[in-house]
Structure 1
Amino acid sequence: MKNILVTVDFNRNEQLLVDKAFQLAERFDSKIWLIHIAAPNPDFVGYEVGPQCIRDNRASELRKEHKLLQEQSNELNKKGVKAEGLLIQGATIEMIMEESKKLNVDLIFAGHHEHSFLYKAFVGSVSGKILKKSKIPVLIVPLG
């Protein structure tokens, strides 16, 4: 197992997910790819870009998320596990599947948050959708 993809959403408890991936990567001398899928640009989904303040705010969010990914990957590198962070804009599930193929990933780590029935009915679960679409083994870590 040479490449592990870890999906990071910056909502909560992803450190547990990163720690579990680290334990496995350390044992198998694997590389960890931390990936965060950001929402696509508004013009990608058919909306006008909008005022400059909205574009500036979006750019600031993306810089913050990129910095967090770099900090996490630097921390893993300091501990002796090769790691890189990727910030990609697009549709979450499709981008995870696409990057998994590009990076020749052997295992996908995804966190699972418990949600209400209504949330599941209307939005669904990212981890569940990854399980359905992936041809690569997926490890789901309960995050609360």
Structure 2
Amino acid sequence: MRLLVSVDLSESTEKIVDKAAAIATALSAQVWLLHVAAPEPEFVGLDVGPQSVRDSVSKALRKEHTQIQALADRLRDRGLEATALLIQGETADTILKEATRLDADMIVVGSHGRGRMHQLLVGSISAGVLKASKCPVLVVPTHERG
């Protein structure tokens, strides 16, 4: 079995990775941890030079790369086959493309549990993945339930 586990490297990541690890252990599944980094800015409306923008993006990507690799290392320490992926792009589309490329049997994503107004204005990555995925999607609630 192949699990594609999408994480945003926020405080929610631990819950998502823990749930994915439990599933992977039970099913002897391979795990691909995916973090989708923000795409390159198409327009920068600042008075800073392009080099400072490139330096800032590069620094952020290095930090995210270190974080996603550390998560994969922790899964490997638990005896799981885990690969870390860091890809720039639009989040939902990138998750779906990688699931197809990897022939994933399941996608695991988190839900921050934001309100309807946020979803109406901004949208929901988990909803976008659920709507368009060709394989099962597990949505892990990461918010506190009140």
Q: Does TM, scored on the shorter chain, surpass 0.5?
A: yes
How big is the alpha-carbon RMSD for the aligned residues of Structure 1 and Structure 2? Answer: 1.4
Match of 1:95 in 2: 94
TM-score, with length taken from structure 1: 0.92
For residue 116 of structure 1, what is the amino acid of its counterpart? Answer: G
Q: Does 1:35 align with 2:34?
A: yes
Find the aligned partners of 1:15 and 1:123 in 2 and give their Cα distance. Answer: 24
Q: Deviations over 1:28-58 (max 9, x none)?
A: 111110001111112xx4x269531221111
For residue 140 of structure 2, what is the amino acid of its counterpart? Answer: V
Q: Does the 8 Å contact 2:12/2:112 carry over to 1?
A: no
Q: How does 1:15-34 map to 2 (within 5 A)?
A: 15-34=14-33
**Post-superposition shift, 1:11?**
2.0
Find the aligned partners of 1:35 and 1:55 in 2 and give their Cα distance. Answer: 22
Match of 1:8 in 2: 7
**Identity value in percent:** 41
Judging changes above 3 Å, is the alpha-carbon distance between structure 1 residues 96 and 50 closer, same or farther for their aligned structure 2 residues? farther
**Matched residue SS, 1:6:** strand
Match of 2:67 in 1: 68
Match of 1:121 in 2: 120
Match of 1:56 in 2: 55
Judging changes above 3 Å, is the alpha-carbon distance between structure 1 residues 79 and 40 closer, same or farther for their aligned structure 2 residues? same
Q: Which runs of 5+ in 2 are unaligned?
A: none
Q: Does the 8 Å contact 2:6/2:108 carry over to 1?
A: yes
For residue 88 of structure 1, what is the amino acid of its counterpart? Answer: I
Moved over 2 A (4+): 47-51
For residue 98 of structure 1, what is the amino acid of its counterpart? Answer: K
Q: Which runs of 5+ in 1 are unaligned?
A: none
- Alignment coverage as a number of residue pairs: 140
